[in-house]
Structure formats: C-alpha cells, structure tokens
Amino acid sequence: MSTKVNDVEFALAYYEHQYERMAKLEEQRLTFTNIVITLTVVALTFGFSSTQGLTLVNGLVLPVLMISLNILGAIYTWRTLQYIHIHRERAKDILKTYAEKVYEVDSLKSLPTTGFRLGLARIQLLMHVVLTIPPLVLIITYVWNTL
C-alpha cells in the first residue's frame, strides 16, 4: 500500500490529537476526583466535630450530599474511561493503517487489553465507591436513633 507524505503527516497529527484528548480527560478526571474527595473529607471533618451528636444536618443532609458527590465522581470516572478507550482505539487504528511497523512495535510493548488491571482510574473509581460507605453508616445511625 503506497501512502502519500500528506497522508502520513495527517495520520501522525491525528494520532497525537487522540493522545492529547486522552491526557485532557485524565487531567479533568483527576481534578474532579480531588475536588470530590476534598469536599467529602471537609464535610466529614467539620460536620462531625460537634459534640451534639447526630442532627438532621450532619446525620442526613451532609451524608446524602457526600454520597451524591461520590456517585457523580464514580460516574464521571467510568465515563472518562470509556472515552479514553475510544481515543486509544482510534490512535491504534491510525497506526495500523498508516504505520504498520510502528503499530507492530506498539502492539508488542503494550499491556494486554484483556483481564482486569488496577490503574489510576480504577483506583479513583474504587475510592469514590468506598467513600459512600461512611455516609451510609451515618444515615443508618441517624435514622435508627430517630425511630
């Protein structure tokens, strides 16, 4: 298959663009996770520093807010994983079409796509899920004490 120089330049630009998009998504995901975790920790710290025990605000409102934020964080993390996967596949397809030798090297040195890997995004997802447990306990405790 013969390729023109313009085709190769376009393919390289497209390949780079896909990885730039993946980097931006990863940066946005990390920023969002940091904000959600910070808000969760601040809510846990200041919402429960009172010696009055559980009130409507710190026993129900703050926990619901924390759970909602972490669910949104988990959804956002999962969605960015899907978009990153699409961008990576596009970049690999461009390599396969326009630079077969580079694609072969890239395929040999890449992690396999099968199986479960615990990367940064999955750790972030797990943190969001885990951070919903303490607020759930607080809600259950508050409801139990008010009955």
pLDDT per residue as tens digits for the range 48-101:
777 678 888 888 999 999 999 999 999 999 999 999 999 999 999 998 888 888
Closest CA to 19 of 89, 82, 79: 89
Report the percentage of the chain scoring pLDDT > 70: 90
| Termini Cα distance of the chain | 75
* Phi and psi torsions of 95, nearest 5°: -60, -45
Residue boundaries of the structural domains of the chain: 5-146
Question: How many angstroms from the chain centroid is the CA of residue 55?
Answer: 33
* Phi and psi torsions of 2, nearest 5°: -95, 140
Please give the residue that has the higher pLDDT: either 145 or 50: 145
Question: Would you say residue 41 has pLDDT above 70?
Answer: yes
